[in-house]
């Protein structure tokens, strides 16, 4: 493993640098406050990519307490991908997505004009036209501590919503209705069993 530490112009600039420096055929993102849900996550991802027709795979995510990873705050069950679901506000959790390098080469990396929602914009650009194939691994792959960039404060949540709307419009996927459905989907994720 190689570690780089250098100045950047924000999260997505750093991610783009990482994508450029990555040497494998599959690219995944693990933020500093995220952890794998268990030791077999990468084996599951690797196994899913034995299907050469898949351009990306993803799974489920748990938001956990910043102080106690065992305390689940929100459980995000992704479900299967379909373009119709994307148009109704669906997206997989970005930290669980693993994407073939060719997707970045063909459709571009993260647009750094977004400060919070470049991952949503990239997802819509990559998978919002039903031209690529995604595979779903139906289990929790990542635990993410609450308090990240997109959910740190009401101001950040509002900025994210504005950026999500911009991403929807610029990718011609939907508008305010899609944005409303995207946010409503989150409500059920707070019912943790």
In CATH terms, the fold of domain 11-190 is Spore Coat Polysaccharide Biosynthesis Protein SpsA; Chain A (3.90.550)
Query: pLDDT category, 109, cuts 50, 70, 90?
Result: very high
Instruction: Tell which phi-psi region holds residue 8, choosing left (phi > 0), alpha (psi between -120 and 50) or beta.
Output: beta
Q: Identify the pLDDT of residue 149.
A: 57
Taking the alpha carbons at both ends of the chain, their separation in whole angstroms is 37
Can you tell me the distance from the alpha carbon of 23 to that of 183, in angstroms, rounded to the nearest whole number? 35
Work out the average pLDDT over 52-73: 95
Query: pLDDT category, 98, cuts 50, 70, 90?
Result: very high
Dump pLDDT digits (tens) for 81-93: 999 999 999 999 9
Q: Identify the pLDDT of residue 8.
A: 86
Work out the average pLDDT over 28-39: 93
Percent of the chain with pLDDT over 70: 95
Name the residue with higher pLDDT: 98 or 149: 98
Q: Residue 96, Cα to own-chain centre: how many angstroms?
A: 6
Across all residues in the chain, what is the average pLDDT?
92
Spatial neighbors of 49 by CB under 8 A, at least 6 apart, are 26, 57, 98, 100
Dump pLDDT digits (tens) for 143-173: 999 876 555 667 888 899 999 999 999 999 9
Query: pLDDT category, 140, cuts 50, 70, 90?
Result: very high
């Amino acid at each position: 493993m190689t570690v780089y530490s250098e100045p950047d112009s924000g999260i997505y600039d750093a991610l783009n640098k990482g994508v450029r420096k990555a040497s494998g055929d599959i690219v995944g993102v693990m933020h500093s406050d995220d952890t794998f849900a268990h030791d077999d996550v990468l084996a599951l991802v690797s196994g899913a990519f034995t299907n050469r027709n898949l351009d990306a795979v993803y799974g489920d995510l748990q938001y956990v307490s910043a102080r106690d990873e065992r305390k689940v705050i929100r459980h995000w069950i992704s479900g299967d991908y379909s373009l119709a679901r994307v148009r109704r506000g669906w997206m997989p959790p970005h930290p669980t997505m693993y994407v073939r390098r060719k997707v970045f080469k063909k459709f571009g990396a993260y647009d750094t004009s977004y400060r919070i929602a470049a991952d949503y914009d990239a997802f819509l650009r990559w998978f919002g036209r039903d031209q690529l194939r995604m595979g779903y691994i139906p289990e929790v792959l990542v635990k993410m501590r609450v308090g990240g960039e997109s959910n740190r404060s009401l101001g950040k949540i509002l900025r994210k919503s504005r950026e999500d709307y911009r991403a929807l419009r610029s990718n011609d996927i939907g508008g305010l209705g899609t944005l409303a459905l995207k946010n409503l989907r989150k409500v059920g994720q707070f019912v943790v069993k």
